[in-house]
Amino acid sequence: MTKLVRVIDMERCMGCRSCIAACHVENHLTPGAPWNVMIEREVGKYPYSRTVFSTMNCMHCEEPACMKACDAIGVKAIHKSELGVVTIDYDKCIGCGYCFAVCPYGVPQETQAENIDNLFPGQDKTPYEAIPAAERHPTHRKKGKTYQKCTFCAHKIDKAVADGKVDRIGKDPEYTPSCDVVCPVSARHFGDLDDPNSEVVKIIGEKKAARLKEEFGTHPQVYYVLEGGDY
């Protein structure tokens, strides 16, 4: 089996936000509905203070509370794939917001209808916006008044599956989430938790990476090398 996980090393992250920019471009993000955000805070006291940076995205939980809530109301718009990727089907989503309400990390974001047609009102569409819906991956066919969130770059993962290259996920840029590819200080890693030789397994073990808000029992598939205390 392959279990895809991400490791974010807060000891290395310098807050440059390259991952956030990459996500914006790669996933056709619309204003007000980011898939990846930077959370920073100051620790210590002046003059011995410093800033701790961390990016937040969907944890692709093994027990996704969002999916349970969506299933409970019979909508079943949220799916978890065999590789562990949690995605929302915009065609099924009714925009109730329950996934957001139950997600311990507050991840799903509502797509504002007015924001999906034109990023720069009054101007021509950007080349990304001009891509016809039919040519986009389903996760990039945003619909107003539905919820969206990080998909672990599902379009790339799906491509790896289609190309028979699942073993290259986390290694080849074309099969690896863009945020993890662009980090200039190797603070982000992506790979297979079930492969004992993978980089993610080594980092989780060596640096004692932890999962956030374990008390919810959602078993996130994103690990953090924590810096600056308890989250």
Residue owning tokens 């308890």: 230
Token pair for 218: 């959602």
Partner interacting with residue 60 (select from another protein, ligand SF4, none; CB below 5-8 Å by kind): ligand SF4
Which option in another protein, ligand SF4, none does residue 62 bind, with CB closer than 5 to 8 A by kind? Answer: another protein
The single residue listed with the structure tokens 């279990």 is 3
What Å distances lie between residue 42 and 30, 47, 118, 157, 228, CA to CA?
29, 12, 36, 36, 9
Q: Does 15 bind ligand SF4 (CB under 6 A)?
A: no
Measured distance CA(134)–CA(137) in Å, rounded: 8
Bridge partners of residue 52, in order along the sequence: 41
Whose tokens are 């994103």? That residue is: 222
Select from ligand SF4, another protein, none the partner in contact with residue 93, using the beta carbon and a kind-dependent cut-off of 5 to 8 Å.
Answer: ligand SF4
69 binds ligand SF4 (CB under 6 A): yes
Q: In sequence order, which residues have a C-beta less than 8 Å from that of residue 32 and are 6 or more positions away?
A: 109, 110, 112, 115
Of 226, 119, 171, nearest to 2 (Cα)?
Answer: 171
Residues 29-88 touching another protein, rule: CB under 8 A, are 37, 39, 41, 43, 52, 54, 56-57, 62-63, 65, 68-69, 72-73, 75
**Would you count residue 4 as binding ligand SF4 (CB under 6 A)?**
no
* Site residues (vs another protein, CB under 8 A): 37, 39, 41, 43, 52, 54, 56-57, 62-63, 65, 68-69, 72-73, 75, 94-98, 100-102, 104-107, 109, 212-219, 224, 228-229, 231
* Site residues (vs ligand SF4, CB under 6 A): 58-61, 64-66, 69-70, 75, 77-78, 86, 88, 93-99, 103, 105, 107-108, 146-147, 149, 218
